[in-house]
Structure 1
Amino acid sequence: MTVLIDPPAWPAHGMLWSHLVSDDSLDELHAFAEANGIAPRAFDLDHYDVPDRRHDELVAAGATPVSGKELVRRLRASGLRIKARDRVRKH
C-alpha cells in the first residue's frame, strides 16, 4: 500500500499541479488526503490534484515521489485507473 505523488508539471490556474494516487485502494487515498487537509473537491475519480506548494509537505507526510510515467503505470496496475473516455464531467 503506497500513496504516490508525481512532480508538479500540470499547469492550471496560474500554478503547476501534482497528482496524488494510491496503488492499493481509494480508501487509503481518501484517508491520506483527509489527514493532510486536502479538500474533497480536489478528487478527480482516481486521483487528487494538489498544487505545487504542497508537494514537499505531502512527501514528508509519507507520499512516495515517482515520475509521472511511474504513477500512471502503478495506477493502471492497481485497477483503480479511470480512462479519459470513461470520465463524465458535470457541467
Structure 2
Amino acid sequence: MTVLIDEPRWPAHNTLWSHLVSDSSLDELHRFAREAGIPLRAFDLDHYDVPSARYDELVAAGAEPVTIRQLVERLRASGLRIPQRDRR
C-alpha cells in the first residue's frame, strides 16, 4: 500500500498543485483522500489534485513524496494510469 504525492508545481487558481496517487488501487487512494478530508471533486480519473497548502499535512499522514517522473512511472506500472488521450 503506497500513496504517492509529487511536489507542488502545477499552477492554477493562484496556487501550486500536487498530484496524489496510489500505486496499488483506487480504493486505497479514495480511502486515504477521504480520511484526509480531500473532497471527491478533486479526483481526476487516476489522481487527486491537492493544493500546496496541504502538501506537508499529506506527507505527515503517510503520502510518500516522489518526483513527478517517479509518480508517473509507478502509476503506469500499477496499471492505474489513464492516458491523456482517454481523458476527454
Q: What is the TM-score with the length of structure 1 in the denominator?
A: 0.96
Runs of 4+ in 1 over 2 A off after TM superposition: none
Match of 1:45 in 2: 45
Q: Could you list the per-position Cα deviations for residues 53-91 of structure 1 after superposition, in whole angstroms to 9, with x for gaps in the alignment? A: 000000000000000100000000000000000002xxx
Q: Distance in 1 between matches of 2:61 and 2:26?
A: 18
What are structure 2's unaligned runs of at least 5 residues? none
Match of 1:67 in 2: 67
RMSD: 0.4
Match of 1:8 in 2: 8
Query: Helix, strand or coil for the counterpart of 1:38?
Result: coil
Identical amino acids, percent of aligned pairs? 74
What are structure 1's unaligned runs of at least 5 residues? none
Q: How many residues align?
A: 88
Q: What is the TM-score with the length of structure 2 in the denominator?
A: 0.99
